Structure 1
Amino acid sequence: MNRTAALDIVGTPARLGLAAVWLISGTLKALDPDQTYVAVRAYDVLPRGSIDIVAGVLPWLELVLGVLLLVGFGTRAVAILSALLLLAFIAGVSQAWARGLSIDCGCFGGGGAVEPGKTAYVQELLRDTGFLLLAAWLIVRPRTLFALESRLAPAGRT
């Protein structure tokens, strides 16, 4: 097996794993929009009018990112958007922790205020950093197996 084929194999679970993250988190948020609003509001950083917009758009953005990664279309661009979104999530959790807020991130549904001492900031930040590493891999090396974009690329270009 040559190096290119090996890298394609390594990138495939990165792409599909990140797709699963977005599809699961987006679905859980879309199924409970009221709780998504509560989770976004709990971060206490957005003006009230922006909370509605973010809570309304976020599940659908995550679902679109997930579908595009699942089919392998626009992988590098989607990975860049994923990385930016994950950096925003990391910043949000970090600022909540630094400010002493007691919240659940709402990353996979739920979210909002929790009892002091019931936060999981370290685990949330480590998990999101892991997801960020998947996105970083796909930014640097977007070519993967079973990707729609590889079927659409002109011969000799991938």
Structure 2
Amino acid sequence: MNEFRKKNRGKKRGKSKNKEFMDAALDAFIRDQSLQKWHEVDGLRAGAGIDAVQAVKSSSEFLAKGTYREIWQNWWQREVIDNGQASNKALFSQIENAVLGAVLEEREVRKQRPDDLLEDSFEYKEFIARQMDHLLSEAGGDIEEEI
């Protein structure tokens, strides 16, 4: 009886750890997407020499989002364009709010189509692969130091 409990307890913990990883991965993905958009806006401001308002409007196309483009545009309009840009810190916060809302809404829409989950998208898989490579390279360095 004790062995049965130990086996089941391990399985539950494994599922919990997987969920924790996926939750953390989603949070990190949202942060990564926010940083990419921030760099896009900042690059337009510096490279094209335009002000924040113009840079934000120029960054509102989201062509890479395909069929989910409208979701992203709506969130961008609501959270970033309509709120104005007071400071860099406030602008990043607005971008992060827009990305958070867009990712979560896109994820819900994708759940209606089981063959088109966010976790199966190229962007998400690319992000996870990049982070795993980073973790493995860090772990590899630790392993080499121990040898």
Which TM-score tier does this pair reach, normalised by the shorter chain? 0.3 to 0.5
Give the TM-score of the pair, scaled to structure 1: 0.32
Higher helix share: 2
Q: Which has the higher contact order (CA 8 A, sep 6+)?
A: 1
TM-score normalised by the chain length of structure 2: 0.34
